[in-house]
A and B are shown apart, each in its own frame.
Chain A
Amino acid sequence: MIARAPLRRSAPSGLAHNLLLSHHALLAFLSKSWGNRMRFASFRLASCVVATAALLLVANAPAQAQTRAETLRYVTGASVNTLDPNIPGSTRESFALSMSTYDRLVAFGRKQLNGKWVFDLDKITGELAESYDVSPDGLKLTFRLRKDAKFQDGSPVTAEDVKWSLDRCVTAPILGKAQLLTGSLTSADQFKVIDPVTIEVTLPKPDKLALPNLATVYPMIINSKVAKEHATTDDPWATAWLKEHAAGSGAYVVETFKPGEQVILKRSEDWNRGSPDKPAFFKRVIVQSVPEPATRANLVERGDADLVLDLQASDVQSLEAKGKLKVVSTPQYNAITFVSMNNQIPPFDNVNVRRAIAFALPYDDMFKAALFGRGSPLFGATWPDGKPLTGIYPFQAPVKIDLDKAREYLKAAGLPEGFSTTFSFNVGQASTAEPMAALVKESLAKIGIKVDIQKLPDAQMSTQINEKKLPLFTEGIVAWLPSTDYFYRNFYTGNQRWNYSSINNPELAAIAQEARFEPDKAKYEEDGRKLNAIHFSEMPQIPLWQPNQDAVMASSIEGYTYEFHRQVDYRDVSRK
């Protein structure tokens, strides 16, 4: 139940009354003269509507409810489509929601990056686990559960529940399977119940990403007793039921769930996994889908919404300039926007053609036109000795627009006259990609490359990428666990969808694989530098920038943190 605002019913003013009366008179007149047969019920409805129109002119905006300060209203262009983020096709908003409705064994800490709070991959704290140990050889992780942890139905969280949930994640045909694979978690045999509050995870290799993987969205801990009641023989892991129902121990209870419209959450008073052992701040959270970005901007500016992430860059800029709202711009340090070439399709199979493109892009203009400069550039670095400055990926590359150099590379590739190609982007990214595409076309024309711009519907674009049919396009990637080897293994190796550039470089693949299990930090850094050097010399794709995530919020909102899933974690925020 939602408490309603104490009502503000002002009597209609004289003007409204007159309007009302005159409309009624008109309608009465019309219906009388049209004879009995034309007297439809709809006339009554019509008079209601007309009366409403008149009254609207004098009615005032609703006074806010008492509970308004304790409510977080978050508006977004996307929507929540499932309560279980493991379901194929679930949206990013669903990921974020599940962070608040379910707990995991562990969670990421947070750190400050240029004065902004961001998640910290290297600091892992207990969530349902009171504490955890990693054995010296790195092959055994032992978690001790909090004794006071309860599911939202009041039953205690046991090691059995944890085992069932993790088993589900690696066995059921759901999204968690592919994610946990990246942390060497592949089989139910790896999870062992020691006693009701202790669970042990064994690893085949000392995988650095095993622990962080347990803090991601998918391995959430489900109330196994409740879920099992709703399991069927066809669906032993209750995926159908969990899609519509939440059975977790998280900070918020789902009160109403309307897919595609809104979700309303109620605080779970028992939950104490927040930093100072208190429940979450907001008593109620409303997650509402508002498809039109201009409307979202209006809502937050008027103070009707508290927080929004996906505004247009131009709106963010003007709101920031007005200074009424708080704008937290965090470079998405686990995301990259790039221009990719298909390294298997001529002429892009020639490294000199790829280099020519890299030196023919108008980086600064693109950065300004697409993002209004809101992000961290990955171009324009200077490498004094021609070697990468860091072993961290993504890195800033020494590329800038240099048309003479580009022409030389084209000549070296045997294509001094240039060629024709297409440049594709998807409709969903049009607001940033469209101005970019025009600049790419203009600039490449100067070195003789004729570009046709293709704007593709999202589903079509992903299909073409999957089938490796696009020669030149722009896309963005994100890694939940942004370590160098993770990026290289997932996005630059193998004949698979996420290898956008279709690069096939055995040396790169070997180093990335080796780095995965490299325990020594210095050696890992060295591997990273090697990988970055190969990336730059092969130029499979051209990283452009890391766009900022602009969180625009009421000035009273505090604690906003940029999370790995790039959405709001409602547990982070509070009101001053």
Chain B
Amino acid sequence: MSAASDIRKRKELLELMTGLGATMVRAGRRLLSSLPALFGVLVFTFLLMRVLPGDPAVFFASGPNAGKEEIEQIRKQMGLNKSVPEQLVFYLSDIGHGNLGRSMMTGQPVLKDLRERLPASLELTFTALLIALVAAVPLGVLAALRPGSLVDHGVRMFCALGVCVPTFVSGLLLIYVFYYLLGFAPDPTGRIDVFTSLPPQRTGFLSIDFLLAGDIDGWWAACKQLILPAVSMALFVIAPLARITRASMLVSLGSDFVRTARSVGLSWRKVVVTYALRNAILPVITIAGIVFSTMLGANVLVEKVFSWPGVASYALDALLSSDYAPVQGFVLLMASVFVLVNLIVDICYGIADPRVSIE
């Protein structure tokens, strides 16, 4: 008996291993196939930035007495005195050496800026997405269980409200209520209260770094800063997630296996959560992946309103001042994130539904 269960366990483990191996191979292949696309994005952004009107050298030489000489000097410093093809070759070779150039705006290497700011954006986006998922999936399920009921309409209205209020409006409203009027929230200025000392940097995610440093007060301070921006971002994406959960749950609830499960008298929980939701979750994962990538790049308004030192507001500032290197670095980063997120979504598919194998 124990031998039999042992063999079964080993068999299961073997299956799991081969399944994992196949997933990895698939992931690697997908990663490789996305390289040409990344290269295309690189060259396209490079050219686009040069086609846009506006000479960054003139903009940055706007000190009270900057004249022609200063402009020429900045042009040289930015490498703009060379022809565009030459610039492209230099740029590509720099990228090959892991150098994304230097930002005129902050005076720092772009790689350093992005490395410092990406964790801020990721932390915010992850939190927002989690809040959104935690709110949207139950809402979608509830709506699907009683289509056409008051609950369904309530959820629909909530979603419509969330979508039609732009994030910066909801952000400003939240600040007004929770910071200005009630004083519950800390001042909306970045990731951490200025009077709190920072933990040693390990992951760049403050909420994790504080925990690693064992500083619970600091962790609490960081979480408080995070909550309002994350909620205002989450409000905006609850709608697509809840709607897709509802639609997909409706299909799943109407299918044969749920009817069978009901008819054999399985518990409500087993029917709805184990069978219906599990089978309805695939499209939700897809949408969550897309929503995540979009949020990361498009949350510039939230970042601005909450002075969040993230990558999106960095890129916007750079774009307004025609600071080429940061914009190019940002687009490259976003393209890579898209590739990665798609990959993770694929892997999640495999986990959620082992039958799926996307080639």
- B103 to nearest A CB, angstroms? 9
Interface bits A6-23 vs B (CB < 8 Å: 1, else 0): 010100000000000000
B108 at the interface (CB under 8 A from A): yes
Cα A73 to Cα B130 in complex, Å, equals 34
B172 and A89 form a contact (CB under 8 A): no
A37 and B351 form a contact (CB under 8 A): yes
Partner pick for B304 among A34, A87, A292, CB 8 A cutoff: A292
**Which of B56, B127, B194 has most A Cβ within 10 Å?**
B194
Selected A-B contacts with CB under 8 Å, 17 pairs: A2-B194, A5-B195, A34-B277, A35-B274, A35-B278, A37-B351, A46-B130, A52-B224, A53-B231, A56-B185, A56-B227, A61-B183, A182-B65, A259-B106, A457-B322, A466-B58, A480-B64
Q: A305 to chain B: which residues have CB within 8 Å?
A: 187
Q: A61 to chain B: which residues have CB within 8 Å?
A: 183-184, 186
Q: B180 to chain A: which residues have CB within 8 Å?
A: 298, 301-302
Partner pick for A261 among B69, B178, B217, B309, CB 8 A cutoff: B309
Q: A38 to chain B: which residues have CB within 8 Å?
A: 351-352
> Could you tell me how many residues of chain A have their Cβ less than 8 Å away from some Cβ of chain B?
82
Partner pick for A291 among B131, B277, B304, CB 8 A cutoff: B304
B107 at the interface (CB under 8 A from A): yes
- A310 to nearest B CB, angstroms? 14
Partner pick for B71 among A56, A262, A294, A466, CB 8 A cutoff: A466
Known: A52-B227, A259-B106. A295 touches B58 (CB 8 A): no
Known: A34-B278, A295-B175. A459 touches B224 (CB 8 A): no
Can you name 13 extra interface pairs (CB under 8 A) apart from A30-B273, A33-B269, A298-B176?
A34-B273, A45-B130, A46-B134, A52-B224, A81-B105, A88-B60, A259-B108, A295-B188, A298-B180, A458-B54, A461-B54, A463-B54, A496-B67
Partner pick for A290 among B58, B106, B108, B189, CB 8 A cutoff: B189
Known: A75-B189, A302-B179. A59 touches B70 (CB 8 A): no
Interface bits B286-330 vs A (CB < 8 Å: 1, else 0): 000000000000000000111101000110010011100000000
Partner pick for A497 among B67, B107, B127, B269, CB 8 A cutoff: B67
A49 and B274 form a contact (CB under 8 A): no
Q: A458 to chain B: which residues have CB within 8 Å?
A: 54, 59, 320-321
B242 at the interface (CB under 8 A from A): no
A139 at the interface (CB under 8 A from B): no
- B48 to nearest A CB, angstroms? 14
B74 at the interface (CB under 8 A from A): yes
B307 and A290 form a contact (CB under 8 A): yes
- B345 to nearest A CB, angstroms? 14
Binds B, one of A116-124, A171-179, A230-238, A514-522: A171-179
Cα A59 to Cα B225 in complex, Å, equals 12
B263 at the interface (CB under 8 A from A): no
Q: B106 to chain A: which residues have CB within 8 Å?
A: 79, 81, 259-260
Interface bits A281-294 vs B (CB < 8 Å: 1, else 0): 00000101111101
B230 at the interface (CB under 8 A from A): yes
Known: A33-B274, A298-B175, A457-B54. A4 touches B64 (CB 8 A): no
A202 at the interface (CB under 8 A from B): no
Q: B15 to chain A: which residues have CB within 8 Å?
A: none
**Which of B113, B126, B304, B307 has most A Cβ within 10 Å?**
B307
A49 and B62 form a contact (CB under 8 A): no
B residues lining the A interface (CB < 8 Å): 53-56, 58-71, 73-74, 77, 104-108, 113, 116, 126-127, 130-131, 133-134, 172, 175-176, 178-180, 183-190, 193-197, 207, 217, 220-221, 223-224, 226-227, 230-231, 269-270, 273-274, 277-278, 304-307, 309, 313-314, 317, 320-322, 351-352
A87 and B223 form a contact (CB under 8 A): no
Partner pick for A459 among B172, B188, B226, B322, CB 8 A cutoff: B322
Which residues of A286-323 are within 8 A (CB) of B?
286, 288-292, 294-295, 298-299, 301-302, 304-305
A463 and B55 form a contact (CB under 8 A): yes
Which residues of A50-88 are within 8 A (CB) of B?
50, 52-53, 56-57, 59-62, 65, 68, 71, 73, 75, 79, 81-82, 87-88
Cα A256 to Cα B74 in complex, Å, equals 27
**CB closest chain-B residue, reference A61:** B183
- A512 to nearest B CB, angstroms? 16
- 4 closest A-B pairs (Cβ-Cβ)? A459-B54, A459-B322, A460-B54, A89-B60
Cα A532 to Cα B105 in complex, Å, equals 38
Q: A258 to chain B: which residues have CB within 8 Å?
A: 116, 309
- B125 to nearest A CB, angstroms? 12
- B114 to nearest A CB, angstroms? 12
Q: B224 to chain A: which residues have CB within 8 Å?
A: 52, 56, 59
Q: A71 to chain B: which residues have CB within 8 Å?
A: 195
Q: A496 to chain B: which residues have CB within 8 Å?
A: 67-68
Q: A46 to chain B: which residues have CB within 8 Å?
A: 130, 133-134
B74 and A88 form a contact (CB under 8 A): yes
Q: A89 to chain B: which residues have CB within 8 Å?
A: 60-61, 74, 104-105, 107
B66 and A175 form a contact (CB under 8 A): yes
Q: A65 to chain B: which residues have CB within 8 Å?
A: 195
A2 and B104 form a contact (CB under 8 A): no
Number of residue pairs A-B, CB distance < 8 angstroms: 216
Partner pick for B107 among A48, A57, A259, A460, CB 8 A cutoff: A259
Partner pick for A260 among B127, B194, B314, CB 8 A cutoff: B314
A53 and B131 form a contact (CB under 8 A): yes
Cα A154 to Cα B313 in complex, Å, equals 40
**CB closest chain-B residue, reference A297:** B180
Cα A65 to Cα B217 in complex, Å, equals 14
Cα A49 to Cα B230 in complex, Å, equals 10
A62 and B184 form a contact (CB under 8 A): no
A299 and B189 form a contact (CB under 8 A): yes
Q: A59 to chain B: which residues have CB within 8 Å?
A: 184, 224
- A535 to nearest B CB, angstroms? 20
Which residues of A77-107 are within 8 A (CB) of B?
79, 81-82, 87-90
B105 and A260 form a contact (CB under 8 A): yes
Cα A460 to Cα B133 in complex, Å, equals 42
Q: A286 to chain B: which residues have CB within 8 Å?
A: 194
B189 and A295 form a contact (CB under 8 A): yes
Q: A289 to chain B: which residues have CB within 8 Å?
A: 307
Cα A457 to Cα B53 in complex, Å, equals 9
B53 and A87 form a contact (CB under 8 A): no
Q: A81 to chain B: which residues have CB within 8 Å?
A: 105-107
- A8 to nearest B CB, angstroms? 10
Cα A239 to Cα B157 in complex, Å, equals 59
Known: A53-B231, A298-B175, A457-B322. A288 touches B189 (CB 8 A): yes
Interface bits A456-471 vs B (CB < 8 Å: 1, else 0): 0111111100100000
Cα A458 to Cα B318 in complex, Å, equals 11
- B277 to nearest A CB, angstroms? 8
Known: A56-B184, A290-B307. A7 touches B53 (CB 8 A): no
Cα A290 to Cα B309 in complex, Å, equals 10
B55 and A88 form a contact (CB under 8 A): no
A49 and B130 form a contact (CB under 8 A): yes
Cα A2 to Cα B198 in complex, Å, equals 10
A427 at the interface (CB under 8 A from B): yes
A178 and B351 form a contact (CB under 8 A): no
Cα A205 to Cα B270 in complex, Å, equals 94
A459 and B195 form a contact (CB under 8 A): no
- A424 to nearest B CB, angstroms? 12
A510 at the interface (CB under 8 A from B): no
Partner pick for B307 among A4, A57, A292, A427, CB 8 A cutoff: A292
**CB closest chain-B residue, reference A181:** B65
A460 and B53 form a contact (CB under 8 A): yes
